[in-house]
């Protein structure tokens, strides 16, 4: 089976009702990103940061995967699919994708603030227990924090993602402004000659040539891509 790697961003979850970051009315218009999503912001006010992610977690229970998530999951019938997502929601998994790498962490998980990648400290929250209380501690006695890669922090999964991109036979970019590195740099690991598709309703600079632009929303774009790649009309 050919390997298909999909790099996804907030745009694929937009039609599920989760706001993107940099569109008009986006999350970073409403919240000061440095305060709620950076390492310094965490050190300055851990309660404010935990409350911000409590709110984003709460929203997760009211949304469903959309057609784009489902069509991407269905491509697993035709290809060996790896989803490399910048999103921290769990909509790819809920839509049925079985190989999802979260570059920027996962909203439903919390961890140690001393060693965020210590697997013995990573806990998965549930619908009945999704809020981190002020002063709540992780298993190692440090303050409990979101299992999210904040700005200023390393991206632990980037090497895995780069290797996947370098092995891809088809590379698909869906719903990301390609503003944030190192995620945006993954396109440069794709071997020359490998087809790259970019699905976005707006112009996005993929910083490289010969990209097939599908200038549509994620759902419509994934329907077109499915037709292009499999001949199936969905
Ligand atoms: N379908 C497809 N794409 C869409 C849709 C839609 N319905 N609506 C918006 N988009 C596109 C926008 O045109 C834009 O190109 O989704 C992209 C969203 O870009 P950003 O808001 O910058 O989100 P993203 O690229 O995922 O941000 C990357 O930045 O703040 C950090 O950690 C955060 O993971 C995030 C990272």
Distance 56 CA to ligand 1 centre (A): 16
Q: Specify the CATH architecture of the domain 1-17+66-104+154-234.
A: 3-Layer(aba) Sandwich (3.40)
Return the active site residues: 104
Measured in angstroms, how far is the CA atom of residue 114 from the centroid of ligand 1? 30
What local confidence, expressed as pLDDT, does residue 52 receive? 96
In a mutational test of the pocket of ligand 1, which residue from 13, 16, 20 has the highest number of ligand atoms less than 8 Å from its CB?
20
User: Could you tell me the two tokens for 107?
Assistant: 């909203």
3-state SS of the chain is CCEEEEEECCHHHHCCCCCCCCCCCCHHHHCCHHHHCEHHHHHHCHHHHHHHHHHHHHHHCCCCCCHHHHHHHHHHHCCEEEEEECCCCCHHHHHCCCCEEECCEEEEEEEECCCCCCHHHCEECECCECCCCCCCECCCCCEEEEEECCECCCCCCHHHHHHHHHHCCEEEEECCCCCCCCHHHHHHHCCCCCCEEEECCCCCCCCCCCEEEECCCHHHHHHHHHHHHHCCCC
Report the CATH architecture of 19-62+109-148.
Answer: 2-Layer Sandwich (3.30)
Q: Is the CB of 86 under 6 A from ligand 1?
A: yes
Residue nearest to atom 9 of ligand 1 (CA): 11
* Cβ 7 vs Cβ 188: under 8 Å: no
Residue-wise pLDDT tens digits, 110-150: 999 999 999 999 999 999 999 999 999 999 999 999 999 99
Q: What is the model's pLDDT at position 180?
A: 96
- The response to whether residue 177 sits with its C-beta less than 6 Å from ligand 1 reads yes
Q: Are 16 and 111 in contact (CB under 8 A)?
A: no
20 ligand 1 Cβ < 6 A:
yes
User: 23 CB less than 6 Å from ligand 1?
Assistant: yes
218 touches ligand 1 (CB under 6 Å): yes
Residues of the chain with confidence (pLDDT) below 50: none
Q: Ligand 1 centre and the CA of 127: distance in Å? A: 26
Predicted pLDDT at 190:
97
78 C-alpha to center of ligand 1: Å? Answer: 27
Nearest CA to ligand 1 atom 25: 176
């Amino acid at each position: 089976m050919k390997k298909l790697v999909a790099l996804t961003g907030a745009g694929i979850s937009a039609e599920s009702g989760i706001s993107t970051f940099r569109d008009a009315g986006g999350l970073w218009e409403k919240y000061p990103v440095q305060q709620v999503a950076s390492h310094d912001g965490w050190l300055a006010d851990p309660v404010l940061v935990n409350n911000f992610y409590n709110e984003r977690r709460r929203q997760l229970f009211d949304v469903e995967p959309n057609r784009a998530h489902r069509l991407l999951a269905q491509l697993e019938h035709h290809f060996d699919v790896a989803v490399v997502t910048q999103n921290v929601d769990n909509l790819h998994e809920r839509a049925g994708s079985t190989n999802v790498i979260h570059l920027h962490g996962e909203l439903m998980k919390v961890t140690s603030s001393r060693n965020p990648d210590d697997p013995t400290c990573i806990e998965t929250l549930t619908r009945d227990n999704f809020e981190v209380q002020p002063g709540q501690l992780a298993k190692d006695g440090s303050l409990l924090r979101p299992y999210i890669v904040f700005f200023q922090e390393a991206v632990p999964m980037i090497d895995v993602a780069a290797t996947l991109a370098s092995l891809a036979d088809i590379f698909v970019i869906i719903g990301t402004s390609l503003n944030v590195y190192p995620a945006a740099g993954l396109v440069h690991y794709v071997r020359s000659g490998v087809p790259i598709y970019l699905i976005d309703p707006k112009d996005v600079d993929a910083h490289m040539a010969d990209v097939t632009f599908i200038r549509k929303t994620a759902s419509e774009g994934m329907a077109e891509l499915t037709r292009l790649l499999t001949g199936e009309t969905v």
